[in-house]
Structure 1
């Protein structure tokens, strides 16, 4: 289970409709609605600066939150929509959906690499290049993994590890169908430089025929 589900603090909004929403915005709040589950829709307000900061942090719509509203039980929610001002592109309203434990959702799960000490490629001086430090998975809301483990203990220099090489938690699957790369063990930069020098030296050793020599050769053939 995910260890840290971030809290999202909100206030219950009294009144509904455009008038109440405009009043909330004048007070520096963003109106919203919480729907779904077995409860009635709950109108809420979230401080504008708090919401804007979370939006700028990225992946707001794919993050599971623990919604805290005074007078109500905490509930897990995920954002389903953020409406923005067409001119200023600032948030004006948001929709949050309550989640049951059996609800399937898309979340970015951190990648944890194990087996680095045993990895033959790293022991030879190779460098672990991480292509994805998190992977978007379809998971069950009641069984969210804290991370997925990627074993690199058998990788050699030049090897890659893809999502098909990873044992995912039961019930979880990637949102991308193709077998994408998560990481690889690259050759050390010094070795790359030596290979480049060797290639350059090999090219320099290839004999070239000058114009005078070529003409002499053609003359001899005649």
Structure 2
């Protein structure tokens, strides 16, 4: 489960519109907006360097933050969108949503694999494919997992692990209402190609029945 909720410090952004946003960027800030809950939307600025550090650390959109803005009560927020420069790929605007501890939200959570050393399929030369490196789950704001785990320790070549084999935190559930595949163990490419060649050879060697002339004809 996620540990202590990290702080995200911001300042109130004075002024609205594109002019104020451009000025914020010139001042080394990333403009943003905080919305949701029972309060009005709050325009904010976040220091560019601090935001970039958190973005590069990963899982920014799946992390619950304690937003600290001078003159306002601390509030739990989660990022709903990060707009980026089309060329530089640097953040230009952030949308944050206020949350209660009991709020249910949809998030993409990373999938980690366990049981690789025990997996009989891998021991026989099989290849592991993580079909879904992330799965979308409905979780509560107070219980966002850092990752979920899929166990492949019993998979043979040709087997797959579905979402029902994934350890989900209490109260979390997939947004897709079916037992979809998360990981597979398949035959190595060389073996698969060999099997295909054998199938083709077998097909070529099937004897054909020669048709004789119709009855009564020589």
TM bracket (short chain): 0.7 to 0.9
Greater percentage in helix: 1
Unaligned 5+ segments in structure 1 are none
Residue aligned with 2:213, SS: helix
Q: Against the structure 1 CA distance between its residues 2 and 204, is the aligned structure 2 distance closer, same or farther, given a 3 Å change threshold?
A: same
Q: Against the structure 1 CA distance between its residues 104 and 170, is the aligned structure 2 distance closer, same or farther, given a 3 Å change threshold?
A: same
The answer as to 2:72 corresponding to 1:77 is no
Q: Against the structure 1 CA distance between its residues 54 and 207, is the aligned structure 2 distance closer, same or farther, given a 3 Å change threshold?
A: farther
> For the Cα contact (< 8 Å) 2:25–2:31, is it kept in 1?
yes
Shift of 1:181: 0.7
Rounded to whole Å, the distance in 2 between the matches of 1:23 and 1:221 is 98
In the alignment, which residue of structure 1 is the partner of 2:65? Answer: 66
Q: Against the structure 1 CA distance between its residues 186 and 93, is the aligned structure 2 distance closer, same or farther, given a 3 Å change threshold?
A: closer
In the alignment, which residue of structure 1 is the partner of 2:179? Answer: 179
Shift of 1:170: 0.9
Rounded to whole Å, the distance in 1 between the matches of 2:83 and 2:116 is 45
Q: Against the structure 1 CA distance between its residues 5 and 160, is the aligned structure 2 distance closer, same or farther, given a 3 Å change threshold?
A: farther
TM-score (norm 1): 0.72
Rounded to whole Å, the distance in 1 between the matches of 2:183 and 2:4 is 25
In the alignment, which residue of structure 2 is the partner of 1:204? Answer: 204
**What pairs up with 1:148-163 in 2 under 5 angstroms?**
148-163=148-163
Instruction: Report the RMSD for the aligned CA atoms in angstroms.
Output: 4.0
> For the Cα contact (< 8 Å) 1:160–1:181, is it kept in 2?
yes
The count of aligned residue pairs is: 212
The answer as to 2:104 corresponding to 1:109 is no
Q: Against the structure 1 CA distance between its residues 80 and 154, is the aligned structure 2 distance closer, same or farther, given a 3 Å change threshold?
A: closer
Shift of 1:126: 1.6
| CA radius of gyration, larger in | 1
The CA deviation string for residues 38-93 of structure 1, in whole angstroms up to 9 with x for no partner, is 77754311357887998899986x433525546467643123466899xxxx9875
Shift of 1:176: 1.6
